[in-house]
Each structure stands twice: as structure tokens, then as C-alpha cells.
Amino acid sequence: MTAGISRWAAWTAKGVTIGGDPPELADGPLGAWAEAPPLSKIHPKARRPHPQARALVQLASVVLHDKRIEGLALTLGSASGSAGPDREFNEELTKKGLGFGGPSLFVYTLPSAPLGELAVAFNAKGAITTVSSGAASGLTAVATAIDDVDSGRAPAVLCGGFEWGTKADFICLFLIEAQGPVTITGSTGYGETPDGPRGDLLDLAAAVASGQPFSLTSADRLGFWAQIESMGEMQ
Amino acid sequence: MPVAITSYGIVSAHGQGLQALASELRAGRTGVRKLTAFPAEGLCSDLAAQVPVETKGDRALGLLKLAAEEALGWREWAPSPRRAVLLGSTKGSLPRVLDQGEVDPFAHLTAFLAERVRARGPVRAIGAACASSSAAIGAALQLIDAGVVDEAVVAGVEALHPFVYAGFHALKAMSAKPAAPFDANRMGLSMGEGAAVLVLESAGSAAANRRKPLGWIDGFGAASDANDQTAPHPEGDGLLRACQAALKSSQLTVKDIGRYHAHGTATVQNDAMEAAMCARLFGPKGIPVCASKGSIGHTLGAAGVLDLIGCLAALDARELWPIVGLDRLDPKLSIDPVTVIRQHEAPRALIATAGFGGINAALLVRRHDP
């Protein structure tokens, strides 16, 4: 199998783009998205999901574009993971007392909880994992997804990543499928970072949008790195 | 696919090392006791399977270091790009996020292991709720199987924290009595803490380096229920597909499996789900069912790797060890639970883990028969 990116979308404080160049990364929470699909339409089984999970479901709905993929797997990278919901739940315990935390909020203090929400919303029955490797988390998730499709373990993976409750929040998602139009390869490691242009998930979206060959490497101060390369869009 | 386990280290409610764990599991004793790590007044339980070892500072890192030293301390580690590190945990070092203003509770734990074994290959933490460390083992198997690395150090760690304890209280998932998996009067789980570290190697790497396999992992599978955030699928749909995927990856069938090592949290829903799943997978003949959370508590993201080490010890002893806390089987559950030590020669076990978000993972483990 040859893995390729077939669709992508990104959401930052500056707004949302679906395919094409991503919006600029800017300080602050996710910006307003006037055309955001209503949750009742795309996720009828939702029961008051945390805003982080809600946003992921909304952006994923435009990436999946009404597709229902048998065995769809989910792999998202994040350094901040559940830090936002963690702080909210901790504040609740501090204010109300240890015995009075909200059960629905506690569920979202698992980094994998937003992926569980995605699975329920889109009937994704493949493997679900979050990946954490500092600043390299997002590209590491993409590299992992490429392996899963290349090896035939998953027919398709919704991958990418998110940061929430940070200085500059964002979500950037990619659908990787066998024979997707933008063929990519990935590798990860620890220690000395390979040479080449540096970038993150938003840079990956821009590179994919360009249709040109690219190589992008994310690196973290602790030593994690991930590299994604492409020969460009297949004709 | 078979990958050799060439070393391990563990710290659990029964103390440090495999011997401490194995003797208590075999004897059917519980490590669930009155919680002393923090006050639990007003909560639905004041019990936990607490590790009886003091650590300084970061509890998760302290537990991880104890398990790592046992698993890794005997070897010299030259830097290698063909060595990976995978860590499974749900909350990592939570105080770093709550008290120190950091956002990532995992990176320094993973980096500690990577530096300890001088890994230069893939290094990452894996999150899959209570199946996190099973998923980390699965990721290691896939990297070894694909020839990306020759060996992988896999760890699971979870530390008790009032935040998590209060969360399970809020969910009404904790029992006021020690957890009693599959019991008619089960009331929920007992929180636990612990850490375990495995060294996994390709068969070729283990043989070339003259390292004796302590056991084998023959297969792995993962699947999602896609049904509910907290409740498992009532018939165990996702867990069934995870188990079937593990069997398929190893080209084995249910006839090759000698025991089912359950996730067995002792919540009403989980245990009913697993009983239903067992009936679907193994059919009317059934299979002996074991579980260890009545003894070592529910260690959340670390559960998969702790269960694996305990299960392997029982396989090595050629015995089935009793489910601690099980007094009277829930009559609604059609399973064959192990309640006393039984002789059992079959070399393979299927180990299940399941978590919130409908996440499921299954491992096929085999003892090493020289």
C-alpha cells in the first residue's frame, strides 16, 4: 500500500480553511467559524462534549466529508493533550471540594477522550491512539498514520493533531488513505535531528496545498523529532 | 510476528519486583488497603492498591525509575537508532500540569527512558485510555515487525493522585470494598498505581545477543467500540474485534489460547461486557478466565503491561491463579472464572484491556519453553 493525503483542514485563532493553505497560527483560542456544522447534524449521539472535543468533531466532519470508512483509525498528536480540561476539572475540585467534581468533565481529562468522541460521531472502529512527543507530536502522529496505512493495518487514518489551552491553539487534521493523491513518507527518532526545513502540522498543510515535493521536520528540545516527506501530488 | 520479552521490571501494590507480585497473586491476596497517599473524606471509597515504596518528588517518575532499574540496570546500552521507547499512561506526571504550569505530563518520562537506554529510534508516549500500555506494546511490535527497530523498551506507569481518585468517585465507578471482579456483589473498581518496563526484541536480535527470552508476544489487535464515551459496548463488540485482530496477526485461532486474562475492573458494565465477549469469541465450551485487579487494583494506563507480567508469571508456573475478591460468581455471567489455583499446561494467554472512549486492545502472550 502507498499512503497519501486525500483531504485536510485547519483551524486557528484566525479561522478555518478546508484544503488549501492553512490559516496563520496566532495567539489565542480557536477563532469563530460561522459555517461550522451544527453538532446535532454531524454527531446526534453527542452528550454535552467538552468544547475541545466538539471542535475536533466539527473540523473532522469537513475532512471526512460525509465519508463513512470501514475500519477508520484515529491518531492525533498533542503536547498539551488534556491540559486544558485538566485545569478546568482541578478548578472545579478546588472550588466545590474533592467529592463534587463533574463526571462529564472528568471524562475529557483523558488525552484520548476527544478521539473517543470522534469514533462515536463517525463510527470509526479502527485503533485509537494519541501520540505525545513534545513539539514533534503532530508530525509523529502523521508518520504513525502513514505506517498504519502502508502496512495495511488500517484502510484510512484520520490524523494530525491539536493544541488546546495553550498560547496559540490550533487543530489540523489530515485524512490519509491508501492511494491518496499526495503520497508521503514519514520517520521519527530521538536525539540528533535530521537536516532540512523545520515545520509543524500547519506547515505540512501548506506544503501539501502547494502540490510540490517537500521535506518537513519537527523537533523538540528534549530530543524527539519527526520528518514527513513527499514527492508532490501524483498526476 | 513473535517478539521476545528479554527483560522486565515491575513495581506494584505488592512492592518491587516480580517475585513479590507473583507470590501474592498466586496466594490470592489483595494489595488493596486503606489509602494513605492523600485524604479521601467524603468520597465513596478510601481504599487503593498503593505501592508501598516511598519516592521523592514526581511520583510517576519515581515509580518508573524503580521499574526501569530492575528491567534495564543489568545491561550496557550503546546508542542505537534501532532501539525504540514507547510509554503508556493516562495521566503521567499530572502535578507538572496542575502545579507547575506545564502542559505535557508525558514528555519528560519518555525522555528519561530514552536517555537511560540511549535510544535513537522512535520515542513517544501513547494514549489509549486504560489500554495505553497495551497500545504501547502494540506499537513496539509493529516497529519491530516492520524492521524499523530491533528492540523496544515499553513502559506503563500510573501514580495515585486525588484528581483521578475524585474523578472516579464522580463517575460512581469506585467500590467501597476491595474490587471483586465478576462477583455477584461487585460494586466497582479499586484504584491502583504502579509501573512496569519491558524490553522487547525481535527473535533474531535476542538470539544474536544471546539473551534468553522470558516469554513471547505473538500478536496484538486494537479496535474501537464507536458506541459511547464511558460505557463499553454491551456485547463487547470492539473488544471482540481487537481479540480477533490479535489472533489474525499471529495466525492463531481460539483453540490455541489456554486462558483469557480479563481487564476485569469489577464495574458492573465492564465485567458483563467481557463475559458477553468471551461467549462470542470462545463459544459455549468457554475458557478459564483470570484477572488481577482485585489484587493490584486498576492501574489505568499501566494496566496492560502490569497484567502481562503477572500473567506471564502464572504461565511460567503452569498454573491458573485465582481472581482475588471473587466470592460468588454473578449468575448472569456465563464464564469459567478461576477461584483456586489450578494446574494448567497451555502456554498461551489472551490479555484484554479496555478503556473510556470505547478503546480496546488485546495481546497474545506465550511462555518461553526452552
Test A134 with B104 for CB contact under 8 angstroms. Answer: yes
- Tell me, yes or no, whether B184 and B227 share the same domain: no
> What Å distances lie between residue B106 and A123, A217, B141, B229, CA to CA?
29, 21, 21, 23
- Tell me, yes or no, whether B170 and B300 share the same domain: no
Q: Is the pLDDT of residue A179 over 90?
A: no
- Residue A210 lies inside a defined structural domain of this protein: yes
- Residue B214 lies inside a defined structural domain of this protein: no
Q: Identify the residue among B1, B103, B113, B165 best suited for mutation to test binding to A, counting A beta carbons within 10 A and taking the highest.
A: B103
> Which residue range(s) make up the domain with B202?
3-208
- Tell me, yes or no, whether B251 and B170 share the same domain: no
Q: State which of B208, B243, B261 marks the end of a domain.
A: B208
- Tell me, yes or no, whether B11 and B104 share the same domain: yes
Tell me what pLDDT residue A45 has: 86
| Arithmetic mean of pLDDT, B124-145 | 98
Q: Can you tell me whether residue A8 is helix, strand or coil?
A: strand
ipTM of the complex: 0.96
Residues in chain A within 8 Å Cβ distance of B81: 189
Test A132 with B127 for CB contact under 8 angstroms. Answer: yes
Q: Can you tell me whether residue B245 is helix, strand or coil?
A: helix
- Residue A7 lies inside a defined structural domain of this protein: yes
Tell me what pLDDT residue B227 has: 94
pLDDT band at A6 (very low <50, low <70, confident <90, very high): very high
Q: Which residues contact A91 (CB under 8 A, 6 or more apart)?
A: none
- Tell me, yes or no, whether B310 and B187 share the same domain: no
- Residue A211 lies inside a defined structural domain of this protein: yes
- The residues pairing with B154 across neighbouring beta strands, listed in sequence order, are B86, B198
Q: State which of B182, B208, B234 marks the end of a domain.
A: B208
Test B124 with A131 for CB contact under 8 angstroms. Answer: yes
What's the CA dihedral at B161, B163, B166, B172 to 10 degrees?
-100
CATH number, domain of B325, equals 3.40.47.10
Q: How far is B340 from chain A (nearest CA, A)?
A: 35
- Tell me, yes or no, whether B305 and B161 share the same domain: no
Average pLDDT, chain B: 97
User: C-alpha angle with apex B219: B217 to B222, nearest 5 degrees?
Assistant: 125
Test B104 with A90 for CB contact under 8 angstroms. Answer: no
- Residue B184 lies inside a defined structural domain of this protein: yes
Q: Is the pLDDT of residue B287 over 80?
A: yes
pTM, full prediction: 0.97
- Tell me, yes or no, whether B204 and B76 share the same domain: yes
pLDDT digits (tens, 9 = 90+) for B79-103: 999 999 999 999 999 999 999 989 9
- Residue B42 lies inside a defined structural domain of this protein: yes
Considering its fold, how many domains does chain A have in total? 1
- The residues pairing with B336 across neighbouring beta strands, listed in sequence order, are B288
Nearest to A130 by CA among A56, A59, A78: A78
Residues in chain A within 8 Å Cβ distance of B135: 127, 129
Which residue from A minimizes the CA distance to B237? A125
Confirm or reject contact between B146 and chain A (CB < 8 A).
Answer: yes
Tell me what pLDDT residue A173 has: 98
pLDDT digits (tens, 9 = 90+) for B114-130: 999 999 999 999 999 99
> What Å distances lie between residue B172 and A121, B158, B168, B178, B188, CA to CA?
25, 20, 6, 15, 8
Considering its fold, how many domains does chain B have in total? 2
Average pLDDT, chain A: 94
pLDDT digits (tens, 9 = 90+) for B14-65: 999 999 999 999 999 999 999 999 999 999 999 999 999 999 999 999 999 9
Q: How far is A211 from chain B (nearest CA, A)?
A: 28
Which residue from A minimizes the CA distance to B128? A129
In single-letter form, the type of residue at position B100 comes to Q
pLDDT band at B5 (very low <50, low <70, confident <90, very high): very high
Test A189 with B106 for CB contact under 8 angstroms. Answer: no
Test A87 with B166 for CB contact under 8 angstroms. Answer: no
Q: Is the pLDDT of residue A1 over 70?
A: no
| Arithmetic mean of pLDDT, B129-154 | 97
pLDDT band at A89 (very low <50, low <70, confident <90, very high): very high
Test B122 with A110 for CB contact under 8 angstroms. Answer: no
Q: How far is A51 from chain B (nearest CA, A)?
A: 15
Candidate from A99, A144, A189 with C-beta closest to B81: A189
Candidate from A120, A132, A189 with C-beta closest to B120: A189
- Residue B149 lies inside a defined structural domain of this protein: yes
pLDDT digits (tens, 9 = 90+) for B264-279: 999 999 999 999 999 9
Radius of gyration of chain B (CA): 19
Which residue from B minimizes the CA distance to A188? B122
Q: How far is A233 from chain B (nearest CA, A)?
A: 26
Q: Is the pLDDT of residue A83 over 90?
A: yes
Tell me what pLDDT residue A2 has: 84
- Tell me, yes or no, whether B106 and B152 share the same domain: yes
- Tell me, yes or no, whether B244 and B178 share the same domain: no
Asked if residue B323 lies in contact with residue B263, where contact means CB atoms within 8 angstroms, the answer is: no
- Tell me, yes or no, whether B201 and B229 share the same domain: no
C-alpha–C-alpha distance, residues B247 and B242, integer Å: 9
- Residue A19 lies inside a defined structural domain of this protein: no
Nearest to A233 by CA among A185, A199, A184, A197: A184
> Which residue range(s) make up the domain with A125?
3-11+49-233
- Residue B254 lies inside a defined structural domain of this protein: yes
- Tell me, yes or no, whether B230 and B187 share the same domain: no
| Arithmetic mean of pLDDT, A111-140 | 97
Tell me what pLDDT residue A232 has: 72
- Tell me, yes or no, whether B195 and B296 share the same domain: no
Q: State which of B208, B234, B262 marks the end of a domain.
A: B208
In chain B, what percentage of residues exceed pLDDT 90?
98
Q: How far is A110 from chain B (nearest CA, A)?
A: 6
C-alpha–C-alpha distance, residues B279 and B257, integer Å: 14
| Arithmetic mean of pLDDT, B209-214 | 97
Q: Is the pLDDT of residue B132 over 90?
A: yes
- Residue B215 lies inside a defined structural domain of this protein: no
CATH number, domain of A109, equals 3.40.47.10
